[in-house]
Amino acid sequence: MTQRAACSCGQLHLVAEGEPIRLSMCHCLACQRRTGSAFGIQARFPQDKVRIEGRANEYVRISDHDEPRTFHFCPECGATVYYTLASAPDVIAVPIGAFADPAFPPPTISVYESRRHPWVALPAAMEHHDD
């Protein structure tokens, strides 16, 4: 499986090979602000299976668990294309919207459900976490 992700203008893009090692949905307030939506959804891939091309700016924020997260976004259009976690330096996380693929597999894990908008319905079969 080969997946291609890109920013809105296409200047920053990546290719991920193989299946994601994690597909999760996050309801934390930082993801809500970052995405402009009620949640964020991301796919994680092994770093050695991701090829990144184009220029990126970085924004580092500290997570609720005091972990640095480094977001890489296009300096032209501002779209986040990938990010890294200090606790998993060998992993690249990609917001699934960057793939622009309605057939992309759904998330299997939901985190920070304590901050979930009450109108967001989730499948019972997914793994559920309050934080």
pLDDT of 95 reads 98
Q: What is the pLDDT of residues 23-63, one digit of tens each?
A: 999 999 999 999 999 999 999 999 999 999 999 999 999 98
| pLDDT band of 128, cuts 50, 70, 90 | very high
- pTM for the model stands at 0.93
pLDDT of 38 reads 96
pLDDT of 94 reads 98
DSSP letters spanning 82-94? EEEETTEEEEEEE
Q: Which domains does the chain have, with CATH numbers?
A: 2-117+124-128 (2.170.150.70)
Q: What is the pLDDT of residues 58-112, one digit of tens each?
A: 999 998 888 999 999 999 999 999 999 999 999 999 999 999 999 999 999 999 9
Amino acid at 61: R
Query: What is the distance between the alpha carbons of residues 80 and 18, in angstroms, rounded to a whole number?
Result: 21
48: which 2 tokens?
A: 């050695």
Percent helix / strand / coil, the chain, rounded to 5: 15, 45, 45
pLDDT of 56 reads 98
pLDDT of 65 reads 83
Q: In which residue are the tokens 């995405």 written? A: 35
pLDDT of 63 reads 85
pLDDT of 64 reads 81
